[in-house]
Structure 1
Amino acid sequence: MKPWPLPFITTTGDVYVAGRTSSTNFPGTTGGAQASNNGDSDAFVAKLDPNLTRILQATYLGGGDDDGALAIAIHPTTGDVYVAGRTLSFIFPGTAGGAQARKSMGYDAFVSRINSSLTQILQSTYLGGEDDDEALAIAIHPTTGEIYVAGRTASTNFPGTTGGAQAGNNGGFDAFVARLNPSLTQILQSTYLGGGDDDEALAIAIHPTTGDVYVAGKTHSPDFPKTAGGARENKSGGSDAFVARLSSGLNQESPIYLPGRTRLR
């Protein structure tokens, strides 16, 4: 699992940060969308002024088991806050009506949409299959507002992968990329991304004009898909970084290895 996410700075200069807390007295949660810790570790989201001199609002986000936020993005026009991470909770706030309203086994990824003032959970959804899944990166399409989430999954039945660039898990943990509508009520398309060993996606970005999806992460797989013709076709030892380019519909892929090897923790 990667370190907790960096802060996200909006056009107004306000700073949003998300992560994980076991505290029952996390600062600024009074009046928040979820004012108290529901048990064990909860995710949190906090909003601070640009000078970091005031906590404008904070909120817990979680159920009765272990939850943590690992990625955050702000919608450029609505200001809505999108948070993604992992959860063990079978009752996670706001999932009713979501794209996947019920939790599967082990850890599931989750995605939540919260208003800009952090006073209302607008929608949440689970995202996962029969084994462990976690979301590690999130991006918002600059034109459509669709939500792209990337991470890793050990599930062989990750939702929405039929018709994706890679419809099946190739072994161990694969990276995944999922595309959801802005209201988080529909999984539009998902895809696995990986070879016969462990792979995980740690970062995602959307091209501002073509809409192509760029995903980066680490791989142990010597057979990572579509590296032929890439800037680095062959894997080195240990774990290599990878960069992959997919169509906005997540039904094409063209990944490449980066030179050398890297260990991302």
Structure 2
Amino acid sequence: MNLYPFRCSLALMAMVGAVISCSKQTTDPMEMTSLPGDTVLNVNYESGTLSSGVTGISSTHASAVDANYMVQPGAKGSYAIAHKVVYGDTAYYSDGAYRSESDAVALPAARFAPGDERRYEFSVLLKDWTPWLSGAIHETNIFQLKVSGNSTTGSGVPLQVRVARNALRLRYADNIRVYNFLADVRPYINQWIHFRIDAKWTLDATGYIRTYMKLPGHSFTIVDEKTNYATFAGNPAVGNIGYIKWGIYGIQEGLTRIAYHDDIRIIRLN
């Protein structure tokens, strides 16, 4: 008997099953990837430049020559960006604080406004991070979902990812929630940690922010979720716009802080 058609049918069924299995996997929000055209910003630094070859990416306003610089390798590719701040050295002081940050505020496609639903991805490595021993918390921002303006315009920062003491912390606008989602970051110093943040930007109580993390050797896991609240923290009618920042902001007296960032992406979910 000729078994060739039967074997081909089995092979075809196996291929179809594999495709169905892969399709099912992409429905998991922790593993979902973007569809063609959904990515509105991709900063992977593979150009080897501080702007990642993307016109409008601002790297830092600090004047120190090493306030930011390229490093090798990156989280996945050849390059990443380093931001550095030295407390007490005015060359690392800009915009009213000791900071060195990149941002995408000049890119209209990368901004967010009420009605948008977006995924934000980034990878971070805390380079030779000095552990906290005692004293005040001295939180350090490593990523911000920010709304332009200030207290007089009613704007704020919808979400900050921070190092607080030796913990990784989320701080929401107006401190409506402050949550340590990783109690001790010290075992992961000098290793890449990956993040995904899904957000629905609203002015009413229908918004959400969900944060996922992938530690070395692990899969993405949801670490916090806040739903059914106004997420935008600003007013577009007075010119407030939403944008992202990544780098180092806020530092304890006497310390030097360096963080590497890579693979900053914004994906349209609606």
Q: TM-score, normalised by structure 2?
A: 0.29
Higher Cα Rg: structure 1 or 2?
2
Q: Decide which structure has greater helix share.
A: 2
RCO greater where, 1 or 2, for CA within 8 Å and sep 6 or more?
2
Q: TM-score, normalised by structure 1?
A: 0.30
